[in-house]
Structure 1
Amino acid sequence: MRILILAPPGVQSLDVVGPAEVFWEAARRLGDENAYRVEIVGTQAGPIAGTGSLRFLPDRTTDDPDIEADTLLVGGDPRLPPHVDPTVTAWIARVAPQVRRYGSICTGAFFLAAAGLLDGRQVTTHWECAAELAGRYPKVRVESDHIFIRDGALCTAAGVSAGMDLALALVEEDFGRELALAVARYLVLFLKRPGGQSQFSTHLAAQLTGKSSIQKVQQWVLSNLDQDASIEALARHAQMSTRSFTRTFHREAGMTPSEFVHRARLDAARRLLEDSSASLKGIARDTGFGSEERMRRAFLRSIGVGPADYRGRFGRH
């Protein structure tokens, strides 16, 4: 399968290298170097400047005649908003209907939107660019908190490393879960993440919060998941009134205290399901869900699969 990766000038280098490594490793493990053939498409002949002072030599350019390909992915430009060349979007609009599937990584979604391919579609992009994308293209249904989204033949990924998550999902679609998990483990990816998973872990969210009583409460929650984490209890830890604590927490963390606690417990439960052989009952107790049923409902609501199915898909076998 030929995979075209369009690399605009100034492309985020990992948007190209990350997916390319996933496809290359999948082909290597299949024992067939032609199972995936990645080709970089440039806007003109000559080296393409990428981030990190890297240069990419394109296999072809947007001036070349249309070619047969299986998949088209468009890399992102870290500038916000990215420069969108009309001749490039015209090429995308012409090629996309000819391939089995097409999509974007990071701000590559801006190129697809400018080509008229995202109207009425559910998409994601880098969290930092989501509001800009939604504002510029109001017909696009932007979901800012997804790793990747599949909408028919269209697939869009969040920022930078999420392109590898998307590529793994495409490998799983093509050749099955076993190969995708083997590739993920070989590349030492922390987790083969489901597309609907939040772009942020609760640990990262806590790091982003300012050095304040709110962050101290977040760190307490992360270390005491099985303790009382009601808003009233957390407000007491912060030595604030409930109303003031709730308002300040939302302003600093970008989510409510209850949402943070829920995500923290879900993150911890996921890690235990992936890396341990502990019982579901024990995991539910240790992560503060209290019962297997409450944990099961939380997983179904947030991830779309129950804890047992999650362990079957992402746990160590």
Structure 2
Amino acid sequence: MTRRPGKSGKDVLVVLFQEVQSLDVTGPVEVFTGAGLSVGDPGAYRVTTASLDGAPVRTFSGLTLVPDHALAGAPVPHTLLVPGGQGTRAPDARLIDWLRAHAPSAQRLLSVCTGAMLLAEAGLLNGRRATTHWAYSDKLARDHPEVEVDAGPIYIRDGHVATSAGVTAGIDLALALVEEDLGRDTALHVARNLVVFLRRPGNQAQFSAQLSAQTAQREPLREVQRWIAEHPDDDLSVPALAERARLSPRHFARAFRAETGVTPGRYVEQVRLEQARRLLEDTARNVEEVSRACGYGTPEAMRRAFVKALGSAPAEYRRRFRPALSH
């Protein structure tokens, strides 16, 4: 493999294989391509695809993708992206050999979803923190004990290696890299065009509070779940929520936990924390305003919740994700 000389911008090579997950490929590709168009420089990211022998591959959903190269003839990329899919279950040994031999030459090595399985099989995640789709995290940890698997975050960056969770998390990771390379405004422009959030931080859980808990079976309890999400600054005590569900507090608390898997208090904590993180990441509201909007009442109450759950105070959390708002 030879590096292209004398060109600005970043080469991004996406590895293709049979039964790849199509969104793992197209999501990041749309982000990188859109970023170049946004800044008026289509060469900001030069995206190419390659399969083992250069032949078309059939995705798990039945789409056919035609690669630009065979892997053997592909140039060394700045960024190498390995998607996931059903094809990672029994990968071609030649693909693992190629990754083991050539992936270390890339300045950035990325995986989406179960693409982490391929990186791990090639020994590229040894001694690193990594994530993958929540449904496969146990398998990754079991098959590769030398990898420090964390099933919680939507993506993890460990040095020049970044692994992401299922499907849309690849878009989040790509947006984070665009923001790093070309600035927040460019990443925001791309996100708006794709109608996605900018940006879920890597340490955000793969499940939102609403998805982490089960949806209640009974409509009164489902309505309470919706109310909590839409009114985090309201009175969300058990008696108030029980009255909304037209149940006694004791019956409500027992039924809510039985049907959602968490206590009402824990569910409220998760919703408020998630909402506060979003406001700190995506708005210019100060900490006091955010604490009121999310039902904490005082900045100190929100600080305690952040330190307990995230290990950092709200101001420090904002500095990590929105440094411009911290000055």
Aligned residues: 310
Partner of 1:143: 150
Q: Percent identity over the alignment?
A: 42
- Alignment partner, residue 19 of structure 1: 28
The match for 2:98 is 91
* Corresponding position: 1:209 with 2:215: yes
* Counterparts of residues 86-125 of structure 1 (less than 5 Å): 86-125=93-132
Contact 2:175 2:198 in 1 (8 A): no
Structure-2 change in CA distance of 1:8 and 1:267 (3 Å): same
**Distance across 2 between alignment mates of 1:105 and 1:44:** 22
2:141 to 119, 127, 134: 134
Q: Gaps (5+ residues) in structure 1? A: none
- Deviation for aligned residue 1:205: 3.5
Alignment-derived partner of residue 4 in structure 2: none
Counterpart Cα distance in 1 of 2:94 and 2:187: 35
1:145 Cα offset (Å): 1.4
Q: Give yes or no for contact 1:40–1:58 (8 Å, CA) kept in 2.
A: yes
In structure 2, how many angstroms separate the alpha carbons of the residues matched to 1:303 and 1:20? 34
Q: Counterpart of 1:109 in 2: which secondary structure?
A: helix
Could you say what secondary structure the match of 1:53 adopts? coil
Report what 1:284 is aligned to.
291
Q: Against the structure 1 CA distance between its residues 84 and 231, is the aligned structure 2 distance closer, same or farther, given a 3 Å change threshold?
A: farther
Shift of 1:281: 3.1
1:266 paired with 2:273, answer: yes
Query: 1 CA distance for matches of 2:86 and 2:241?
Result: 38
The equivalent residue for 1:156 is 163
Pick closer, same or farther for the CA change 1:33–1:282 going to 2, 3 Å: closer
Q: Specify the alignment match of 1:72 in structure 2.
A: 80
Q: Deviations over 1:100-129 (max 9, x none)?
A: 010200000000010011122101111111
The residue aligned with 1:58 is: 67
Give the Å deviation of 1:92. Answer: 0.6
Structure 2 residue 54 is the aligned partner of structure 1 residue 45: yes
**Once the two structures are superposed, what CA deviation does each residue of 1:41-82 show, in whole Å capped at 9, x if it has no partner?**
2133322111433211111223x1463210111010147x72
Q: Is the 8 A contact 2:288 2:299 kept in 1?
A: yes
Label 1:185 to 1:293 Cα distance change in 2 as closer, same or farther (>3 A): farther
Moved more, 49-58 or 148-157: 49-58
Specify the SS of the correspondent of 2:156. Answer: strand
Task: Give the Cα–Cα distance (whole angstroms) in 1 for the partners of residues 125 and 282 of structure 2.
Answer: 38
Alpha carbons 2:50, 2:74 under 8 Å: kept? no
Is 1:167 the equivalent of 2:165? no
Corresponding residue for residue 6 of structure 2: none
Contact (CA 8 Å) 1:6, 1:73: kept in 2 or not? yes
Tell me whether 1:34 sits opposite 2:40 in the alignment: no
Structure 2 residues without counterparts, runs of 5 or longer? 1-9
Contact 2:55 2:70 in 1 (8 A): no
Structure 1 residues 271 and 69, CA gap change in structure 2 (3 angstroms): closer
Letter in 2 for 1:209: T
Check the 8 A contact 2:35/2:187 in 1, yes or no: yes
Q: CA deviation at 1:283?
A: 3.4
Counterpart CA distance in 2 for 1:268 and 1:83 is 40
Go from structure 1 to structure 2 and tell me whether the alpha carbon gap of 1:65 and 1:120 turns closer, same or farther (over 3 Å shift). same
Amino acid of the structure 2 residue aligned with 1:77: G
**Could you tell me which of 190, 195, 213 is aligned with 2:197?**
190
Q: Is the 8 A contact 2:49 2:69 kept in 1?
A: yes
Q: Secondary structure of 1:103's match? A: strand
Give the TM-score normalised by the residue count of structure 1. 0.83
Give the superposition deviation at 1:231. Answer: 7.1
| Structure 1 letter corresponding to 2:169 | A
Give the drift of 1:23.
Answer: 0.6
Number of the residue aligned with 1:294 = 301
